[in-house]
Amino acid sequence: MRVYVKVECPIEVTSETEELYKTLRSALKRAERIANDRRVKLKTRLEAFRLVGYIASILAGILKDYRLEEIQEELMELEEELKSKER
């Protein structure tokens, strides 16, 4: 049985989340290596696949939060621009 998993999720992160992002990316790569290593027992590989999904889900949450922050900042800038034009 051949099953390969590779999850890519490059994003620019703020300094507050950079260390967490790096740690999770490292953990994701380690889990991917185990999941794709045919020398490892199937039970262990399946657990690694589960971890890949879990870590990817957390990274997706970080991306979602980052995008929300970005959108909120853009909205605030637009509101400030509107206020200055109304004056």
Q: pLDDT, tens digit, for every residue of 34-74?
A: 999 999 999 999 999 999 999 999 888 877 777 777 777 88
Mean pLDDT confidence for 20-34 = 90
Q: Name residue 15's amino acid.
A: S
Neighbours of 76 (CB within 10 A): 10
Instruction: Please determine, for residue 83, whether its predicted confidence score (pLDDT) is greater than 70.
Output: yes
- The mean pLDDT of the chain is 81
8 A C-beta contact, residue 13 and residue 66: yes
What's the pTM?
Answer: 0.63
Domain ranges of the chain: 17-86
Retrieve residue 21's tokens.
């992002």
Span of 4-8, 18-22, 41-45 with lowest mean pLDDT: 4-8
